[in-house]
Amino acid sequence: MNAKTIEYSMKQLQHIENDNDGVKFHQIKQNNGHLQIYVEFGCGKNITLSDDEVYYQATEYLKSEIDYINQNK
């Protein structure tokens, strides 16, 4: 996963994090250099987001930014 996609995805996920107590998103770099995002829940459990989900969240962030710009012309 490239760093820019992770960056945009994390921006979108921060909105989700702010709306949900006990949920925290983290980006990690695997030993092989692959960047990933995982979710930490208040109960201590973690899950890693699939690359498809990371791309989806990045795309949603960019769409929301475009909508914001278009609304504020």
pLDDT in tens, 12-44: 999 999 999 999 999 999 999 899 999 999 999
- The span from the CA of 24 to the CA of 51, in Å, is 18
64 pLDDT higher than 90:
yes
* Total tally of structural domains belonging to the chain: 1
Has residue 73 been placed in a domain?
A: no
Q: Across all residues in the chain, what is the average pLDDT? A: 95
Classify residue 10: in a domain, yes or no: yes
What pTM does this model have?
0.88
Q: What is the residue range of 55's domain?
A: 3-68
pLDDT band at residue 66, thresholds of 50, 70 and 90?
A: very high
